[in-house]
Amino acid sequence: MQMTEIPFGTTDWSVVERVEHKGETGLAYWRTRNFGIIRVRMIEYTPGYLADHWCEKGHILLCLEGELHTELQDGRTFVLKPGQSYQVADIAEPHRSSTKVGAKLFIVD
């Protein structure tokens, strides 16, 4: 990833439009900013959320609140708690997210 032509700036996430995305179960609320080809998101998953797809997009993801379960298509699973992160490349390892208790995430992709 090369970050170019992005002037210094700040983001007040509370004023970024919140968009609802339905999961297989539960809801995800995305607040998204785009900086050229870089997408930055603050996401909140409701308790009981399960993604409705296997994602192949690369991410750097930081868990801010709650607990995030990430399942890889090969069967491995990982649990993130606040202060933990993961990173995965584009088209490297399909993954999907779920949470029993809800989660708040900061994602760069």
Nearest to 100 by CA among 53, 50, 55: 50
- CA distances to 20, 33, 45, 80, 93 from 72, rounded to whole Å, are 24, 26, 18, 14, 7
Model pTM score: 0.93
Question: Would you call 16 exposed, middle or buried from its count of C-beta atoms within 10 A (0-12, 13-18, 19+)?
Answer: middle
On the CB side of 56, CA atoms within 13 Å amount to: 2
Q: What is the mean pLDDT of each run of 10 residues along the chain (109 residues)?
A: 87 98 98 95 98 96 98 97 97 96 97
The type of residue at 21 is H
pLDDT for res 3:
82
Which residue ranges form the domains of the chain, and what is each CATH number?
39-108 (2.60.120.10)
The type of residue at 80 is L
- CA distances to 9, 32, 62 from 67, rounded to whole Å, are 29, 21, 11
pLDDT for res 108:
96
pLDDT for res 32:
98
Which residues does residue 46 pair with via DSSP β-bridges, in sequence order? none
pLDDT for res 19:
98
